[in-house]
Structure 1
Amino acid sequence: MSTECKACGAQVPADAKACPSCGAAMVSKPKLLPLAAFMLIVILIIQSYISKSDESETQAQPTAPVSAAEQ
Structure 2
Amino acid sequence: MGKVPVRLKEVTYSLSANHQYVWRGILHDFSYKTKKRFNDNWVSALWLLVPVFGSYGYAEAYREREKLHHRS
Q: Give the TM-score band, short-chain normalised.
A: 0.3 to 0.5
Provide TM-score, normalisation by structure 2: 0.40
Higher strand share: 1
Q: Max radius of gyration: which structure?
A: 1
Kindly indicate whether structure 1 or structure 2 has the higher relative contact order, using CA contacts under 8 Å at least 6 residues apart. 1
More helix by share: 2
